Structures are given as structure tokens and as C-alpha cells.
Amino acid sequence: MTQCSAEQLYFKRLGSRDVVADFGGGQIASDAGALLVARADEGTRLLERFAGCFRDGRDPERTEHSLLALLRQRVYGLTQGYEDLNDHDELSRDPLLASVVGKTDPEGLDRRREQDKGRPLAGKATLNRLELTPADARADEGSWRYKKIELDFAAAERLFVEVFLESRAAPPAEVVLDLDATDDPVHGHQEGRFFHGYYDEYCYLPLYVFCGEELLVAKLRPSNIDASAGTEDVLAWVVPMIRLRWPHVRITVRGDSGFAREGIMAWCEANGVDYVFGLAKNSRLVALLGDALAAARAQWEATHEPARVFHDFRYRTLDSWSRERRVVGKAEHLADGPNPRFVVTSLSPEAWGARALYEDLYCARGEMENRIKEQQLCLFADRTSAETLRANQIRLWFSSLAYVLLQAVRRVGLAGTAMARARCDTIRLKLLKIGAAVRVSVRRVWVSMASSYPYQTLFREVWHRLGRLVRGPQAIPLRC
């Protein structure tokens, strides 16, 4: 928001005209697209439901900011590109953000409250309380006295799966759950800090589960574990939730070679879940692929173009697997030489031939890496700089909530448009970062967006489409 100032700033002349700037334009916001985020939130009730996962032990008579308002302020800020709690000391004076958060006094003129008087929204110290309450706070009178906003982790985890299930209008015939782990660098001597040799840094090792572009699980873990650690526990509650809503759906689990573990595959086989995982190569596997590798080399020598030959066979490790399983080998020959790759699967050759299994099904898991990049780079999931692992898990979920809201904008509002596959940062740049004058009257909050905004038609279309999710009229009128 601008601050009025009498000082004028002079710039290079434009012909015969002086170019003069000041900060006297009044209440002008740069984030008018937050209205779309709030509309998606209103339709999905995402943050209202996430607020229900908290136990708020504060005295209502002494509380200035509701739990829901705090959550909206924090998560909407992430969608707009404000990654740090420090940003909210300035954002707390923003009447537009206050309006979409739901504060009845968006200009902060109500002086009855003393803590944040003159500011409609909470400052960083108040927002930080969302993260700091320990799990055993109620048993510790001293801790509970100052930290009374406690999150039920099990309920929070399940909410993301519930929202995913509600995102489909009809039960699908099949869902593919993508599993992956990634590095999340730590910011100091934090709880759960370990050095990871593969990533060559001190980091956390969060586990993600996606179905297409929909996020189901974001679980923060220390990095002194195997990448697949805890996967069976996650599947043990995610799969029953899916089957309870969609009893006849076929479920396939997909991941890289870090998930080709006996425990995970055995669990899938015992519970009627199919899988396709990368399989790390070894001398036995390469030997079994020998004829296919020779054929691929012959093709390359004849054409000098990359050559692929696929081989389907049964395989069992010497001692780590409990049974023989289907393996598909890709015998590829490139200018640099042979490039053998393998996948292990429970899917039958009749359902998926070797080439289609590898190229169409397994390789499609690479799209999940783009979703993780959106989380980490666009929505600041790597800002896990709190002292405790518990607080950092909550921060990861805040970024996940921001992703789910923008995914709702993408899935519902942008379907069939040129931005249907746009990344979250592109959506932010083109649809959320809009200049607007904000005028607050007794009865209305007027948001007058820039007349020169180039995506007015798309913005209106997204607004109307998101209205399908919303019940009841929108309180904030728009002017483009």
C-alpha cells in the first residue's frame, strides 16, 4: 500500500513535459487478484475447514483476530508471493487483503482493540502463534498460557485427501498416485537437521503424494532416512479414504527406484493396489538385457539415431524380495553409449505392453517433479526456518494450502484457456498482481482495477467460472 508523502520525485523529461511522481495516490493495492484466490477459497471452504483442525484456546473476549482470519492472511499472502512472516508487518495495513480475509474494518479504524490498533490485520508476532504451539502444550501450564492455538495433525493430513476426492465430479475408473521425496534445505541448527550425502547439504526430506496436479500428502521428515520411509503408513490411510468414496476405482502407485522396496510392493500386492517403480540397475539385470542392448546398438550403428528396444521378463533379487516380479527393461543406445533402465510392476503384459508401460505410464511421473517445484519455488514450501520440526510441518502445510487454492483456480477457472497448464508463479504474475484503487465506504469496499490491465477478459471469465463453486453472492464488487 502507498503512504502519502509531500515529496515529489522528478524523472527524465518526456518531450516538453516533466515526469513527476509522489506517494499521494491514496489506497492503491498491487494484489487485486487476491479476490480470485478468496473466491476459490469460498467455493472450496478450504481454509474454513482447515481452521476446524485447530483447537483455539484463546479467550474470545481478548481476541482481536479470529483463527480463520489468521489462516487466510497467512495463506493468501503466500499465493501473492509474500513468503515470510516479516512481510506481514506491512501487509497488515493493506485494506484489500483485509477485505478478502474477511475483516469488517478493512482500514483499521476501530480503536477498541489495543494490540494492532490502526492496522486491520495481524502482525508477524500474532501470525507466528499458528505455528508455535507444541503438541503437549495443554499439559504444560507455562507453555499453554501463551500458545493456545493447537493443530490436530491427523485431521490436517486427511483434509488434503478429502479436498482431492471432492475435486472430481464423478468417480474415475483409475487413479495414479505419484510418490516422490525431495530436499528441503534447513536454515540453521533446527530440530531434525541432518546432512544428506546425495543432496550434499543439511536438509529435510519431505514426502509428497500427487494425483495429476492434485496434492494429497506433504509430509515433512528428517533426512537421515531412506527416501521411501513411511510410505506404507501413508498408503495405509490414503488408500482406504479413496476406496471409501470410490469403491470401484483402480489404484496404481508410481515412483522412482527409491520406492522399489519389498515392504511397499508387498503392501500393494496384499491390498489390491498396482504399482510401477523404477528399479536400480545391477549386473544381473544388465546381463538379462544383453540381447536387447545388442539389438539397440545395431540399430544405432545403422541410423546414428537414439535406439530403444524393450524386454519383458520375470526377475527376483537374491535375498531382498519375497517373490518373483515382472520387470521391463529399456535397452537404449545413444551417441554416448548404452543407457539401460528398468522398472518393476504388478501390471500384467496384457494390460500394459513393455514399451507403453515404460514410455506412457512410468515416464509420465516426471510431471510430478514440476508440481514439487511449484511448491518449493513458487509457494515457498522450503521456508521451513522455524526451530521445531512440528512448526516447520505446519509451514509446509500453509504452502500446500496455497497450492490447493491456486490449483482450484487453474482447474476450474482456467480450464480450456491458454493458461490451463500455467505454473503458479505465472498465474500470480498475470492474474493476481493487478493494481487497483481501494475505497472503503460504510456499506461497500470498492476495488477499481487498472483500466490498462491486459487480461481483463480472462479475469472476468475466471471470476464467473469460480462462481460455480461459490454459494451465495460475493460481497466485494469489482470495477475493471
Q: Which residue has the cell 494450502?
A: 401
Q: What is the pLDDT along the chain (480 residues), one digit of tens a residue?
A: 444 456 888 998 888 898 998 887 888 889 999 999 999 999 999 999 999 999 988 888 888 899 999 999 999 999 999 998 999 988 888 889 999 998 877 777 665 554 445 578 999 988 998 998 877 666 555 555 667 899 999 999 999 999 999 998 899 999 999 999 999 999 888 999 999 999 999 999 999 999 999 999 999 999 999 999 999 999 999 999 999 999 999 999 999 999 999 999 999 999 999 999 999 999 999 999 999 999 999 999 999 999 999 999 999 999 999 999 999 999 999 999 999 999 999 999 999 999 999 999 999 999 999 999 999 999 999 999 999 999 999 999 999 999 999 999 999 999 999 999 999 999 999 999 999 999 888 888 899 999 999 999 999 999 999 998 875 434 344 443
Give the alpha-carbon dihedral of 197, 198, 199, 204, to 10 degrees: -70
φ, ψ of residue 439 in degrees (nearest 5): -125, 125
Other C-beta atoms lying within 10 Å of the C-beta of residue 443: 5
pLDDT of residue 364: 95
pLDDT of residue 66: 92
Residue 418 Cα distances to 49, 415, 426, 427, angstroms:
32, 9, 12, 11
Return the DSSP state at 475.
Answer: S
Say how far apart CA 135 and CA 452 lie, in whole Å.
50
8 Å CB contact between 76 and 104: no
8 Å CB contact between 184 and 383: no
Q: Is 324 exposed, middle or buried (0-12, 13-18, 19+ CB in 10 A)?
A: exposed
Say how far apart CA 72 and CA 40 lie, in whole Å.
12
Say how far apart CA 411 and CA 389 lie, in whole Å.
32
**Could you give the maximum distance between any two Cα atoms of the chain, in Å?**
85
Ordered by where they begin, the domains of the chain are 28-150+393-401+417-479 (no CATH), 153-378 (3.90.350.10)
